[in-house]
Amino acid sequence: MRVCMILEGSYPYVHGGVSSWTHQYIQAMPDVEFVLWCIGAHAADRGKFKYALPDNVREVKELFLDDALNLRLPPGQRRRLNLTTAQTEALRRLFTGEHPDWGELFSLMQQQQINPLALLMSAEFVQILLDICSERFPYISFVDYFYTVRSMLLPELYLLTQPVPEADLYHATATGYSGLLGALAKWKNRKPYILTEHGIYTREREEELLRADWVLPYFRQQWIQLFYTFSLCAYTYADRVTALFSRANAIQADLGCAPDKLRVIPNGIHFDRFSQIPDKPPDGHIDIGAVVRIAKIKDIKTMIYAFAEVKNEIPSARLFIMGDVDDREYDAECRELIRQLQVKDISFTGVINVLEYLPRLDFTILTSISEGQPLSVLESFAAGRAVVATDVGCCRELIEEQDGLGPAGLIVPPMHKDLLAQAEIQLARSERLRRQMGATGRQRAGRSFTHTQSMAQYRALYKEVTTWQG
């Protein structure tokens, strides 16, 4: 079997949860050939992989959104495209955030090979926007609206012109651009298409756009709606849509996915590798670890503010922030915050071998604003480490699961430094509590979240859709 994994902003360019999951996933299926269809933001990252690709990765197809900015119109390109009524309506509905006829759009970009710039500079395009702007944005400059819509749609239209890799099955790891390419592949090659969401992509993009200062306020909702439109496209074309926990499935259904497509397949970790890690012997320090990318969505600043409070109460505490830098500007801001607070004993380790660092830690923390089912929490559980985590994704279910075992850590609201600090202080002061919760986490991980269990479910899903399609 040849599987095309469709990846966006993750493997193999960055370290982190989805990338780690993808790498382990491919390694666990040595009998399957994989082609990676990778979407990145910047062409400067071409070929700069953070992982040594497994032998069963046979091809890597790289696409970069900023390559769309280098498109040029051929000399003498016609400005009128003679779009059909159906194509015009599909474009209009795309611009207005309604559910367009994606078959018409796919056909336009794939079979007719329309140059995206030719489309965005055509008389038909301008007329559609004039009609929408006068109807919906009568008090806004048409020039602002025109260039906003162009910037929104150019990357998408560019992606839809790309050749689709040949495969027996397509597997996207998010909605957004990767989900859109999965839908395109399904439409063009009529092969099974599976969508796996580790988090709810549209909700994450919405949170980012609401905080973004580059979006004009009166167009913010249109940007948000575009990603909801992409998600609905991905859900519509997918044969099966998986999530990591049942509450995420419910959100997917609310966003328009047919309930009969939905499945829950939890993450799994290599339990045997972590379960042999011994408890950390007392050494005069309380060592707290965070296995996390340096990115805004991980809310490292709240982690730093909280640790400043912890340090005042527990002078022996040390914090290790362990992960790659995803956002260099944010990384610099975090280091400046440490300097301003004059807090000591915070170390940025960079990328580490988690198996080597966990034996040195008393417990771990996660301060994310948004998550799915974090591998770092499951790995901490398997190693017998209690976890303090924000109440995002399924962290509450993981830590407080009603399986009769009891809590495996403490849950706090996101972006609440005082409650985060209190939870850390509570664990730091009680070795008995740390060990009790750590033992619970280890038992929970071994019972329900092993890599073997997770991969067996994905193999069964592959068999289900290929048999049904075949």
Q: What is the pLDDT of residues 288-327, one digit of tens each?
A: 999 999 999 899 999 999 999 999 999 999 999 999 898 8
Token pair 């994905």 is found at 458
In this structure, the answer to whether residues 294 and 382 fall within a common structural domain is yes
Q: Is residue 417 part of a domain?
A: yes
Phi, psi for residue 77 in degrees, rounded to 5? -60, 130
Q: Considering the domain boundaries, does residue 76 fall inside one?
A: no
| Domain final residue pick, 152, 178, 211 | 152
- 91 closest CA partner among 128, 56, 41: 128
Q: Which domain holds residue 332?
A: 271-449
Tell me how far apart the terminal alpha carbons of the chain are, to the nearest angstrom.
Answer: 13
Question: pLDDT (tens digit, 0 to 9) for every residue of the chain, 470 residues total?
Answer: 999 999 999 999 988 778 989 999 999 999 999 999 999 999 999 999 999 999 999 999 999 999 998 888 777 665 667 889 999 999 989 888 788 999 999 999 998 888 898 888 888 888 999 998 888 888 888 888 888 888 889 999 999 999 999 999 999 999 999 999 999 999 999 999 999 998 888 888 888 888 777 877 878 888 888 899 999 999 999 999 999 999 999 999 999 999 999 999 999 999 999 999 999 998 999 999 999 999 998 999 999 999 999 999 999 999 999 998 988 999 999 999 999 999 999 999 998 899 999 999 999 999 999 888 999 999 999 999 999 999 998 999 999 977 788 999 999 999 999 999 999 999 999 999 999 999 999 999 999 999 999 999 999 999 999 985 54
Residue 458 lies in a domain: no
What own/partner pairs with CB < 8 Å and gap ≥ 24 does 188-192 have? 188/106, 188/110, 188/164, 189/164, 191/167, 191/469, 192/168, 192/239, 192/465, 192/466, 192/468, 192/469
Q: What is the pLDDT of residue 470?
A: 45
Residue 469: the pLDDT is 55
3-state secondary structure of 282: coil
**Residue with token string 């069964």:** 460
Same domain for 312 and 227: no
CATH at 329: 3.40.50.2000
Are 51 and 106 part of one and the same domain?
no
Residues 207, 181, single domain; the answer is: yes
**Shortest CA distance to 265 belongs to which of 372, 401, 376, 406?**
372
Instruction: Say yes or no: 50 and 167 in one domain.
Output: yes
What proportions of the chain, in percent to the nearest 5, are helix, strand and coil? 50, 15, 35
- Tell whether 170 is covered by a domain: yes
Task: Tell me, yes or no, whether 294 and 375 share the same domain.
Answer: yes
Contact 436, 238 (CB under 8 A): no
Residues 415 and 289 placed together within one structural domain of the fold = yes
346-348, strands of its sheet edge to edge: 346-348, 317-322, 286-291, 363-366, 387-390, 409-412
Spell out the alpha helix ranges (H) of 287-358: 300-313, 328-341, 354-357
pLDDT for position 395? 94
**What pLDDT is recorded for position 137?**
82
d(CA 92, CA 203): 24
Q: Does residue 443 sit in the same domain as residue 321? A: yes
Are 300 and 343 part of one and the same domain? yes
Q: Are 325 and 256 in contact (CB under 8 A)?
A: no
Burial 53-92 (b: 16+ CB within 10 A, else e): eeeebeebbbbbbebbeeeeeeeeeeeebebeeebbbbbb
Q: Is residue 455 part of a domain?
A: no
Nearest to 248 by CA among 236, 264, 230: 264
Same domain for 426 and 336 = yes
240 and 213 in one domain?
yes
Interatomic CA distance for residues 127 and 274, integer angstroms: 61
Inside any domain, residue 465: no
pLDDT at 79: 61
**134 to 75, 220, 413: CA distances (angstroms):** 32, 18, 43
Instruction: Give pLDDT, residue 78.
Output: 56
| Contact criterion met (CB below 8 Å) for 390 and 412 | yes
**Residue 250 forms part of a structural domain:** yes
Which of 117, 152, 187 is where one domain is finished? 152
23 in a structural domain:
yes
Domain boundary among 236, 264, 292: 264
Alpha-carbon distance 329 to 296, whole Å? 10
Domain tally, the chain = 3
Q: Do 11 and 45 belong to one domain? A: yes
